[in-house]
Amino acid sequence: MDADGEFEVKRFDHEGWSVRVYLTKLGADGFVAGHADLYQGQTHQCRIALAGQQHDQAAAIVVLEEEGRAFIGEWMAGIMRGDAGAAEP
């Protein structure tokens, strides 16, 4: 856990990318916040944050995992189309 109270709860690889999911320690109100960091090789390309707090840690993890996979899919589709912006985060 780092100084901000965030801790890594899941790490997975998808389409050659590494995704690390972090959640913020639950507060007294029962809400959890978090983000996913996406790496292409050793390069950090994107951070996806939860738009709102979740009541359930498992639900927060699922949302961040799905959003990470969707971002990677869109990035890869942009490369396949030859979009100029696909090579830039």
pLDDT grade, residue 31 (50/70/90)?
confident
In tens, the pLDDT along 32-88 reads 889 999 999 999 999 999 887 677 889 899 999 999 999 999 998 887 777 655 555
**Domain assignment present for 87:** no
Q: Which residue has the higher pLDDT, 10 or 82?
A: 10
Q: List, in order, residues 6 or more apart from 69 with CB less than 8 Å away.
A: 14, 19
- Which letter does DSSP use for residue 32 in this model? B
**Domain assignment present for 1:** no
pTM exceeds 0.75 for this model: yes
Number of domains in the chain: 1
Asked whether residue 2 carries a pLDDT value surpassing 60, the answer given is no
CA distance 57 to 37: 17
The pLDDT score that the predictor gives to residue 85 is 53
The pLDDT score that the predictor gives to residue 1 is 43
Q: Are 37 and 22 in contact (CB under 8 A)?
A: yes
List the domain range (segments joined by +) for residue 60: 6-82
CA distance 32 to 20: 16
